[in-house]
Structure 1
């Protein structure tokens, strides 16, 4: 999956999509629907390279969904609460990703993965993919046993050798312990990011979050009189100063202890079948 930000550099996006198309890979791209409501150009650029899957989340864009259908790609909708679930069902998407509050990065903070998964499975026959906190083969077995068609896993792969995460970020990720993440808007406020306020982000706790989480109004006022705060936050992300910059990661980071290849991660995750077999024997 090619992750597409709200305002991508179109030349870079074209190149990345073209490379995936040339490889003959089964690939797709994920988009922010609230950004596509302003401009469909990034989506149409990607669709010109014939992706197999498009994931739409963080809002709703009928125009984007229509474009995906016209292109013949599989349309997935990522949802974080019941209202978003019902909207996806009404839209008739091909699959729904239910993302619980345990998940890393941006999303809702209303329902846990298992709760939202059970609701979705009871309410629709559309294939459901579970996301949020699924890190090990046991977690994958749990959602598969419940009825999910698969899992959407981010944090585990963020720590992979092939990940674009900086090495300093990977080391912090594999050192995380239970309770070391926080769901917060502080990083978005500091970066003056354009995320809607109901989509905060789960990240590893650091000095900046400990100082400002719960004081968002004060942080907003501080930005009004201190333009350099945003500049420093953006520079910290580039320079790998993670006492200031965010490392977006889910609660499952506490279950990651080594930096390993994506191949080894997948091999480990496929052990979910062993857990399902063991459960049947009980």
Structure 2
């Protein structure tokens, strides 16, 4: 399938593997790119020199386009951006911050820039900042979310009405049916995160992958809105957060409970009780752990089958 997204990134298909913390290392990104979609390295959980190592290994593992996702609130953001330029990365997705801060710098270096937003307001600000495309992510998504709590399939058509740059849908998309639905609503492509957590190549811990596969309807919750809204699987840590809420805890008390390294402990080290287990609502549709190439093939095959069925229905 060729469209504005495949033309922008030089990929075969308008699908992006999300750059997730503790899951999206060079193995996942290169496998995604080798499967004809855009793979992203998630810089949010990497020290600068670790990111450099992952970029270099990704260059060796694929000759296809890949990119890096950079949360703009990262404390060593200047070092990350310098490394991205030095190592010849051609595509950068930014999130969690003001796109005006780095978009011009990156574009002057010949880098394609995409920004992740959770509202029409921020989509317009991203376009004004000069980004090449926008990811509109609904609050079904895993990990850190926008405060608006707008669902993906409500957000996509609203953003589509207001921007002219290519639009990528994210949040709650893990299947070909979801991909087709998002594109019918106006998306030019989709970004898939949670499904790739449960892949062979993801760097997330096997315990976490298995917990994702076991998740069902209602097993995730959006919480910690006073700090930064995050969607988590319910576990002992989540219940401790709820107990604090029940006692009317302050933001400072919540921050003390959260501490440092909760996400790493859960998703990377496999502590299913004390760790943060960030995943989207769509985990309830994920049934198995398999190689990236198979996941991509499943999504595209279902997309084509459902699209053909709808065409027949229309006739």
Q: Secondary structure at the match of 2:44?
A: coil
Match of 1:172 in 2: 211
State which of 242, 245, 266 in structure 1 corresponds to 2:272.
242
Gapped regions of structure 2 (runs ≥ 5): 1-39
Match 1:101 to one of 139, 144, 158 = 139
1:281 is the counterpart of 2:309: no
Spell out, residue by residue over 1:93-126, the C-alpha distance to the aligned partner (whole angstroms, 9 max, x if none).
1100000000011121421001110111111221
Moved more, 156-165 or 83-92: 83-92
Equivalence map 1:135-174=2 (5 Å): 135-174=174-213
Number of aligned residue pairs? 268
What is the rounded CA distance, in whole Å, between the counterparts of 1:160 and 1:107 in structure 2? 23
Q: Is the 8 A contact 2:263 2:277 kept in 1?
A: no
Give, in angstroms, the shift of residue 231 of structure 1.
6.6
Pairwise CA RMSD of aligned residues? 2.5
CA distance in 2: counterparts of 1:231 and 1:129, whole angstroms: 32
> Aligned residue for 1:210?
239
| Distance verdict in 2 for CA 1:213–1:268, change over 3 Å | same
Give the direction of change, closer, same or farther, for the CA distance of 1:213–1:219 in structure 2 (3 Å limit). farther
Contact 1:58–1:107 (CA under 8 A) maintained in structure 2 = no
What is the 5 A alignment of 1:104-115? 104-109=142-147, 110-115=149-154
Question: Which aligned pairs between 1:16-165 and structure 2 lie closer than 5 A?
Answer: 16-22=54-60, 23-35=62-74, 39-109=77-147, 110-165=149-204
CA–CA separation in structure 2 for the residues paired with 1:42 and 1:173? 30
For 2:300, which of 270, 273, 276 is the aligned residue? Answer: 270
What is the distance in 1 between the residues matched to 2:158 and 2:65? 30
Q: Is the 8 A contact 2:137 2:152 kept in 1?
A: yes
Name the CA distance, whole Å, in 1 between partners of 2:57 and 2:263.
28
User: How far does the alpha carbon of each residue in 1:178-210 deviate from its partner, in whole angstroms, 9 at most, with x for none?
Assistant: 010011128xxxxxxxxx93x311111112212
For 1:114-151, what per-residue CA distance to the aligned partner results, in whole angstroms no more than 9, with x for missing partners? Answer: 11101111112210000000011110111122221111
Provide the rounded CA distance (Å) in 1 between the counterparts of 2:152 and 2:87: 33
SS in 1 for 2:108: helix
Contact kept in structure 2, 1:21 and 1:51, CA below 8 Å: no
CA contact (8 A) 1:77 1:88 kept: yes
CA distance in structure 2 between the aligned counterparts of 1:220 and 1:164, rounded to whole angstroms: 31
CA contact (8 A) 1:75 1:95 kept: yes
User: Structure 1 length normalisation: TM-score?
Assistant: 0.86
The runs of 5 or more residues in structure 1 that have no matched partner are 187-195
Counterparts of 1:232 and 1:150, CA distance in 2: 33
2:229 pairs with 1:200: yes
Residues 1:211 and 1:89: Cα distance change in structure 2 (over 3 Å): same
Q: Take 1:234 and 1:118, find their aligned partners in 2: how far apart are those partners?
A: 32
More displaced 10-residue stretch of structure 1: 108-117 or 27-36 = 27-36
